[in-house]
Every structure is written in C-alpha cells, then in structure tokens.
Amino acid sequence: MGMLNRIVNITVLVLAIVSVVFGCLLFLKREELRFRGDKMASFIVNSVKILDVNSAADGSKNISDAKYEPNEKKNPNLVADEKKSLYHYNYKNLESVLAPVRLQTENIMKQRDFLGTALSKVGQKLELPEQFPATGFQGLPSYNQSEAKIIALVEKVNKRDNAIIDQIAASATVMGFTVDKETLKNLDNYTTPLSDFATKVEKLKKRADSYGEHIARICKIFQIAEPSLGGDDYGSELTNVASAMQKVKDEFEDTKAQLKLTREKLAKTEDELNQANAKIEALNKDMDKLKKDVAHWVKEYKKAMGIEEDGDIKEVPQAAEELVKMLEGKIIEVNDKWEFVVIDLGKNSKVYRPEGKKMKEIPVALPEGKVLMVGRNNGYIAKIKITKVNDNCAIGDIIPDLRNGEVSVGDKVFFAPEPKQEQAPAPVKIKGGAEAPAAN
C-alpha cells in the first residue's frame, strides 16, 4: 500500500512538473504569438499608411496598433478605439477592423487595372505599331517590360512629332513665312497655325500653277516648246524657256532694227516719191500743153489730108516697139515665196537716143505682158513676164521653166535681141482713106 502511494505521489509530482513545464511553454508561445500579432498589426498599420501616401485614401485613420485594454465596465469613450484597434486583446473584432484595409486593397487593385486599361488605350490612341493589352500591366514583371516598351514608343512618337513640327517650320521659312513651333506643340491651339500653313501652301501651289499656265501660254504665243514643270528637272526646263525667249528677244531686236532701217528707207523713198510726183505733175502740165498742140496739129493734118474731123488717122506702124526693146533696168526686190520680182521700169521709163552730139531723152512706157530676160555678169539667169506696170516700177512673174539660177536684187533686166528680118513692114490702113506705105 505504501509503495502504491509512493508511485501515485511520484506520478502526480511528475505530472505536476510536466504541467508546469507545458504551462510555461504554452505561456511563452502565447507571448510569442501576442508579440507576433502586435508586430503584424504595426506592420499592417505602417503598410496602410504607405498606401495612403498620394493615393487620396485615408485607410490609416480606420486602423490602429495602439495598445487596447478591454474595459470591463465598457467605457463608452473606448468604443471607437475598439473598432479600429489591431491589438491582440481585440482579436475578436479583427475581421471588422481589417475590412477597410481589404476595401483599400481592392481599390488599389482597381486603380492598377484602370491604369493598365488606360495605358493600353493610350497605345491604341497613339496608333503605336505594337499594341499593349491591359493584362500586361497587372503583374510586376510584365508591367516593367510593357512600361519600358510603351515609353520607348511614346518617345519615338514625340520625336517624330517634333521632327514634323521642325520640318513644317523650316519649310515655312523657305516659302517666305513663319510658323511658331511652340504653338504647333500646343495640344489645343495647334490647328490654327496648321490651317494657316495649309492655306499658304495652297496659295503657293495655285501661284505656281498659274505661273506654269502663263509660261505655257507665252510659249505657245511665241511658238516655243512648252516646258514640263511637274518633274524634278523643272529648273532645266525653265532655263530652256529662258534661252528660247532670249533668242526671240534677240530676233525681235533685230527685226526692230531692220524695221527702223526700213522706215528710214521708206521715209527717204517717200521724199523721193514726192519729188518724183512733183516732177510728174510738172510733166503732166507740159503734157497737157503738148496734147493741145498735138490736137491742133492733128486737126490741121486732117484738114490737109481731107479727112473728116471725126475720122481716124491712119494706124501708125509700131515703130515705138523698137524704143520699148531699148529699155533696160534692174531688179529692186525679189519675193522667193510667190516667185515674182519688182523692177525699176514702169510707165515713166525713158530711153536715150543720139541726136547730133547730144543724147535725146525719149519717154517710153513699159507695156504689160512683155517678157524680159534677167542676167548677171553677161550670164543668163531667168525670164520674167510683166504682169503689172506702175509709174516708176513694174511687177513680173518668174517663168519657172526658164530659170538658170537664183534671181537676186541688182540683176539686170532687158529685152532679148531679135534677129534682123528682111521682110518689109506691112502697110497700115487709114480709116476713111487709102492704104499708106509702110514706114522705112
């Protein structure tokens, strides 16, 4: 019985010692858990405070890691602290205390998703060559990679826009006006300078087109090959036009100089013509006097011959033909296009015959229809047929089949010599009278 009591006592003692040991261990674990819980509470509170920075959130106001001692009397002043304390005494309310933290976490996740969606839309709006789905910005590894790519592409877009703006400004300067680059970079006011730039470019285009049309019209007027101004070699085309126009100008100056000389010659010729007309007028007066004398002597002749006053005198043999064939002149103008010439013989031409020691001047009119020879240096050139006779000149057509060279100004014109005829001239008749003998 004593042995049994000893065993029981020893067992109780061992159990007591074990209980004490386990109680101590349990107490240590409890303290460790309390310490870890309070430390976790401090970490959570600090994390929430960090999340509050620049996020327009106030989650740190709804939680606290301050030591909270339960009040058995339920002091009303401690109710607010109880609702937001993460201290281990308030573990029963832990879920409700962490509810705002959970809400803030969810909001941050939404912000993350919103940011990913926004960045994806930015890539679409900028029409980047590579598209970025919103999910690529949710995880940190994919976020960093997507962020680097989209930033690089946005920088390229910005660089491209700046290059375009610089080029627009430079082009405007070349075209003679200015464009403010800073205004072009303004996201709200860039349309005004762009519109002005487009308007001025359009005006320059219209002006260039108008220049081209007028240059083409001028070329057509002056019979110059129209330039092709649409290509890159418009400079050489314009140079060709300028050279052609210079040639036209030179020809115009030559023509103007020739016209001046022609006018001077014409003025001189008009003076000579006026002098000739004055002489002709004087000769006409003398001719009128001579006609009166001739009429008087004709009347006396008819009376002597017994011819009626209104009767015709005998037809005189055309001894004047010999005088006509004595006419000699020269070419004063040649028209190669219409194959005619102008000679210095006409109605008022004259021949000279010896009379004693003097040369007698005899007026001989060049008749129409006569054929004259053209010669140069005793050589035969051509024959012409007189088609029109003026006072001091005559026009003759060049007979094409009888040409032996080119007719030139200054060539001599004369009648071809005819062989002598042995046959006596035929007698002529007198109206109202007998046949008269031919003149010897």
Q: Which of 100-104, 147-151, 218-222 has the lowest mean pLDDT?
A: 100-104
Question: Does residue 137 contact residue 115 with C-beta atoms inside 8 Å?
Answer: yes
**Does the pLDDT at position 305 exceed 90?**
no
**Does the pLDDT at position 395 exceed 90?**
yes
325-361: pLDDT as tens digits: 999 999 999 998 899 999 999 999 988 888 778 888 8
**Does the pLDDT at position 56 exceed 50?**
yes
DSSP string covering 62-87, please? S-B-S-----TT--GGGHHHHHHB-S
- Indicate the helix (H) or strand (E) that contains 173: helix 140-174
Q: Architecture of domain 321-414 in CATH? A: Beta Barrel (2.40)
222-237: pLDDT as tens digits: 778 877 776 677 778 7
pLDDT of residue 339: 92
Question: Does residue 374 contact residue 386 with C-beta atoms inside 8 Å?
Answer: no
In this prediction, residue 69 has a pLDDT band, given cuts at 50, 70 and 90, of: low
pLDDT, greater one: 73 or 24: 24
Q: How many CB atoms lie within 10 A of CB 69?
A: 10
**Does the pLDDT at position 439 exceed 70?**
no
pLDDT of residue 319: 40
Question: Does residue 408 contact residue 376 with C-beta atoms inside 8 Å?
Answer: yes
Phi, psi of 363 (to 5 degrees): -70, 130
**Does the pLDDT at position 245 exceed 60?**
yes
pLDDT of residue 43: 74
pLDDT of residue 78: 59
pLDDT of residue 331: 96
Q: Which of 11-25, 285-299, 349-363, 393-407 has the lowest mean pLDDT?
A: 285-299
Q: Which residues contact 47 (CB under 8 A, 6 or more apart)?
A: none
pLDDT of residue 419: 59
For the chain, give the longest Cα–Cα distance. 229
Dist. CA 212–CA 218, nearest whole Å = 10
Helices 140-174 and 191-221 sit at what angle, rounded to 10 degrees?
Answer: 40
pLDDT of residue 425: 47
Q: How many CB atoms lie within 10 A of CB 144?
A: 11
Q: Which of 19-33, 181-195, 300-314, 337-351 has the lowest mean pLDDT?
A: 300-314
pLDDT of residue 345: 95
pLDDT of residue 437: 40
Q: What is the average pLDDT across 174-191?
A: 86
Q: Which of 75-84, 388-397, 428-437 has the lowest mean pLDDT?
A: 428-437
DSSP string covering 234-272, please? HHHHHHHHHHHHHHHHHHHHHHHHHHHHHHHHHHHHHHH
pLDDT, greater one: 117 or 85: 117
b/e per residue 409-421 (b: at least 16 CB within 10 A): eebbbbeeeeeee
Question: Does residue 367 contact residue 389 with C-beta atoms inside 8 Å?
Answer: yes
**Does the pLDDT at position 175 exceed 80?**
yes
The residues pairing with 340 across neighbouring beta strands, listed in sequence order, are: 335, 397
255-282: pLDDT as tens digits: 899 999 999 988 988 888 888 888 888 8
Q: What is the average pLDDT across 189-217?
A: 86
Q: What is the average pLDDT across 169-195?
A: 87
26-52: pLDDT as tens digits: 877 777 776 776 777 777 777 777 777
Dist. CA 425–CA 317, nearest whole Å = 8
Helices 140-174 and 94-125 sit at what angle, rounded to 10 degrees?
Answer: 30
pLDDT of residue 23: 82
Domain boundaries in the chain? 2-121, 132-221, 321-414
Tokens of 220: 């057509």
Dist. CA 71–CA 82, nearest whole Å = 10
**Does the pLDDT at position 408 exceed 50?**
yes
Half-sphere exposure for 23 (CA within 13 Å, toward CB) = 6
Question: Does residue 330 contact residue 349 with C-beta atoms inside 8 Å?
Answer: no
**Does the pLDDT at position 390 exceed 90?**
yes
